[in-house]
Structure 1
Amino acid sequence: MPQVSDWFGPATTTAPPRVWLLAELGVNHDGSVDRALELTRAAKSAGADAIKLQRFEPDRLLSNQALLADYQTGKADDAAALLRSLVLSVDEMRIIRDAARAAGLKFVVTPFSLADVADLASLEVDAVKIASPDAVNLPLLRESANLGVPMLVSTGTCELAELTATVELLRTHSAGGCIMQCVSSYPTPTDAAALGGIAALATQFGDIPVGYSDHTPDTHTGALAVASGAVVLEKHVTYDRAAVGPDHAVSLEPDTFAEYVRLARQAATMTGPRCKAVLSIENDVRQVSRQSLCATRDLPADHVLTREDLTIKRPGTGLPAAVLMETIGRRLARPVRANDLLLADDLA
């Protein structure tokens, strides 16, 4: 399966990071192309790898029984009125796409209806993002997979057991995919960030990259998510957190978004490869400070070693301390002076 580093090509920094940053413009453009372009420039300046928009048409998405979520209450009289004020047409999104690509950013879009997927095809998106409530919407997932681009699937509102079919689809998707831990609460309180879900997803679905869609108000949550194993981060960016609209309060303004990106990149560097190995910068201390077998007295050739003949001292350039018991009873091939380390060639 393609890896995250394959999806978007070379990173925007000189040293490719292990985490990809998606700046979620969402509906923070307030239905304005100019505002979306402003946010695109802010995303570029902050060091993001991609911007993300949402493609929807209220008449496609909402039934007569559609409701406002608690965080949307007070923003409009009903769900249809709220969404109508936030729609960008395909032609408007194309303008934003071209500006993003000119700035070296990838263009990612979330569809909400089956008909929206055709619009994403027209836009030639670089990746498709599936919103959390649709992580179990298999018809939308299958239609989106037909685009042949990477799929990023958020998992807020989902139990682990509900995601099996979704992950199976991602496993067979030729362009690869990422499953993203998410808490669908806007904003998410810091103590409900549920970063442990990153490890839970990685443990359950070990061959699928795991990311984090961040709805907390904090600049450091992304760094903690990276340290927890996230390889993709999604974060809302806005021009003003106090602006009227459903998502502004859950977003970061350009300066704080830039700090969010900086901290996440730093965390990726600090985390390093997900393995335990000796780093080159440790070799000096490893050699100097580890301990080896050392002779307690002058020992002649052909001497059979006893416990009393050996102690343990620095540095770690002789036979390691761990082989003390196995060395007792061995015969010396040559003399060893008192306080000299015992070497492999000293043994017959």
Structure 2
Amino acid sequence: MNPRDINDLWETPDAPAFIIAEVAQAHDGSLGSAHAYIDAIAKTGADAVKFQTHIAAEESSELDTWRVKFSRQDATRHDYWRRMEFTEPQWLELKQHAEEKSLVFLSSPFSLAAIRLLERVGMPAWKVASGEVTNRLFLDAMIATGKPVLVSSGMSYIEEMDATVALLKVAQTPVAVFQCTTAYPCPPEKIGINQIAELAARYGCPVGLSDHSGTPYPSLAAVTLGAKLIEVHITFSRELFGPDVSASLTTQEFTHMVEGVRFIEKMMASPMEKNASADQMEPLRRMFGQSLVAGADLPAGAVLTRENLSCRKPGHGISAADVNSVIGKKLKHAVKAAQFLSLDDFQ
């Protein structure tokens, strides 16, 4: 099966949400681990696998400081980025592996050199990381390729997002926007789920959620609110090393999230008309409903009252809902306790 066409986001408004499993640096510089993640992600039901392409000499400098000093083996952040590098043939190998597994291959570039490398490898779309939303050099280079651009809003003022989306639209570049909060892990009160509808209305483009909560819940909520893209970090285990582990889902949790998203989409695609549903349930209504019965042995001529009536399943006789219609009626003949009543029993 071929990978899904990411252009569905713009060409087919009713297409299912596009789900991206973000590996980022979870491979910790190991090419073997990167390939293992592709194999694992293919089993989750995700549409795409996404990495990050770092070229330390082109991206970083001696002034590049740690956000969180998490690594014992890397003296500087520059050293860490260098350890995360893969060669161009290795990136091509990863892309080919992903496509063999029916996954769209994506990678966020963090330098102009990385953009050029990934263009040679064959990116179907670009992901603009939160810190690069205003980077005109990056944006112009991406626009020049003619590929769609996915923009993350994690650290941006709305005016910056406005300018970037406007730039892309003027260039007739298909654009999608992610609501994102740059916090690892992100607490629920900072996820900004309200932004799904607000960004969609503001920009008139596909909107998604890039979630760092380490739970499946925001993604499920986002889909019910109209999100067309979901991006979540993935890890083999929360006991592994790496800066994003606490903000990631395990492969099993990711699988459950994907199942939940697809379940929600099926529900939303099948709106219910309540009366039509009740019509379909008529056999069950009779089975589970209750009918009026005599509450005790009653002689002929007895006048029916609430006190001498009761009810039993199934609902094939006079419905208990119609009790008021039989109150005050007289019996033609004697009936036994718990005997189902019918209209023929009344004078």
TM-score by length of 1: 0.72
Taking structure 1 as reference, are residues 249 and 51 closer, same or farther at Cα in structure 2, changes over 3 Å only? same
Q: Corresponding residue for 2:266?
A: 269
Partner Cα distance (1:47, 1:68) in 2: 34
Instruction: State the alpha-carbon separation in 2 of the partners of residues 67 and 113 from structure 1.
Output: 17
Aligned to 1:233: 230
Equivalent residues of 1:202, 1:209 under 8 A apart: yes
Matched position secondary structure for 2:105 = strand
Match of 1:118 in 2: 116
Q: Does 1:245 align with 2:242?
A: yes
Partner residue of 2:276 out of 284, 287, 290: 284
Distance 1:217 1:144, change over 3 A: same
> What amino acid is the match of 2:6?
W
Deviation (angstroms), 1:72: 4.5
Q: Which residue of 2 aligns with 1:29?
A: 27
Rounded Cα–Cα distance in structure 1 between residues aligned with 2:205 and 2:142: 18
Partner amino acid for 2:236? Answer: Y
1:7 aligns to 2:2 (yes or no): no
- Any idea what SS the aligned residue of 2:52 has? strand
The one-letter amino acid of 2:250's match is E
- Give, in angstroms, the shift of residue 249 of structure 1: 2.3
Q: Judging changes above 3 Å, is the alpha-carbon distance between structure 1 residues 129 and 45 closer, same or farther for their aligned structure 2 residues?
A: same
SS, match of residue 70 in structure 1: coil
Rounded to whole Å, the distance in 2 between the matches of 1:161 and 1:267 is: 33
Residue 167 (structure 2) aligns with: 169
Change (3 A) 1:75 1:238: farther
Query: Does the 8 A contact of 2:8 with 2:15 survive in 1?
Result: no
Cα deviation, residue 114, structure 1: 1.4
CA deviations over 1:43-66 (Å, ceiling 9, x no partner): 110000011111121111112211
Please give the secondary structure, in 2, of the residue aligned with 1:180.
strand
Counterparts of 1:67 and 1:280, CA distance in 2: 55
Q: How large is the RMSD of aligned CA atoms in angstroms?
A: 2.5
Q: Which residue of 2 aligns with 1:311?
A: none
Q: Distance in 1 between matches of 2:231 and 2:177?
A: 12
Tell me how many residue pairs correspond in the alignment.
273
- Does 2:252 match 1:255? yes
The correspondence for 2:93, drawn from 88, 95, 101, is 95
Give the CA deviation at 1:7.
Answer: 2.5
Task: Tell me the alpha carbon deviations over residues 206-225 of structure 1, each in whole angstroms, 9 at most, x when there is no partner.
Answer: x1111110111112221011
Q: 1:154 aligns with which of 147, 152, 176?
A: 152
What SS does the aligned partner of 2:235 have? coil
Q: Distance in 2 between matches of 1:7 and 1:173?
A: 19
SS of 1:25's partner is strand
Letter in 2 for 1:7: I
In structure 2, stretches of 5+ residues that fail to align are 281-347
Which amino acid in 1 is paired with 2:176?
Answer: C
Q: 1:236 is paired with a residue of what secondary structure? A: strand
The match for 1:179 is 177
Question: Residue type of the partner of 1:52?
Answer: K
Q: Distance in 2 between matches of 1:53 and 1:240?
A: 18
1:160–1:75 distance in 2 versus 1, CA, 3 Å? farther
Larger Rg: 2
Kindly indicate whether the alpha-carbon contact (under 8 Å) linking 1:23 and 1:48 is maintained by their aligned counterparts in 2: yes
Q: CA deviation at 1:119?
A: 0.5
Q: Which amino acid aligns with 2:207?
A: V
Go from structure 1 to structure 2 and tell me whether the alpha carbon gap of 1:73 and 1:202 turns closer, same or farther (over 3 Å shift). Answer: farther
Aligned partners of 2:78, 2:226: CA distance in 1, in Å? 38
Aligned with 1:18 (options 5, 16, 34): 16
Instruction: Say whether residues 1:209 and 2:206 are aligned partners.
Output: yes
Structure 2 matches for 1:71-86, cutoff 5 A?
72=70, 76-86=74-84
Question: How big is the shift at 1:268?
Answer: 2.5
Question: What is the Cα deviation at residue 8 of structure 1?
Answer: 4.8
Find the aligned partners of 1:75 and 1:237 in 2 and give their Cα distance. 23
Counterpart contact for 1:220–1:263, Cα < 8 Å: no
Which secondary structure does the structure 1 equivalent of 2:145 belong to? Answer: coil
> How far off its partner does 1:158 sit?
0.8
When residues 200 and 132 of structure 1 are mapped into structure 2, their CA distance, relative to the original with a 3 A threshold, is same
Q: Give the CA deviation at 1:99.
A: 0.8
Is this contact kept in 2: 1:224–1:267, CA < 8 A? no
**Which stretch of the first structure deviates more once superposed, 262-271 or 73-82?**
73-82
Question: Does the 8 A contact of 2:6 with 2:18 survive in 1?
Answer: no
Judge conservation of contact 2:177–2:207 (CA < 8 Å) in 1. Answer: yes
Paired residue type of 1:36: A
Moved more, 109-118 or 163-172: 163-172
1:52 is aligned to 2:50: yes
Residues 105, 123 of structure 2: 8 Å contact kept = yes
CA distance in 2, matches of 1:270, 1:224: 13
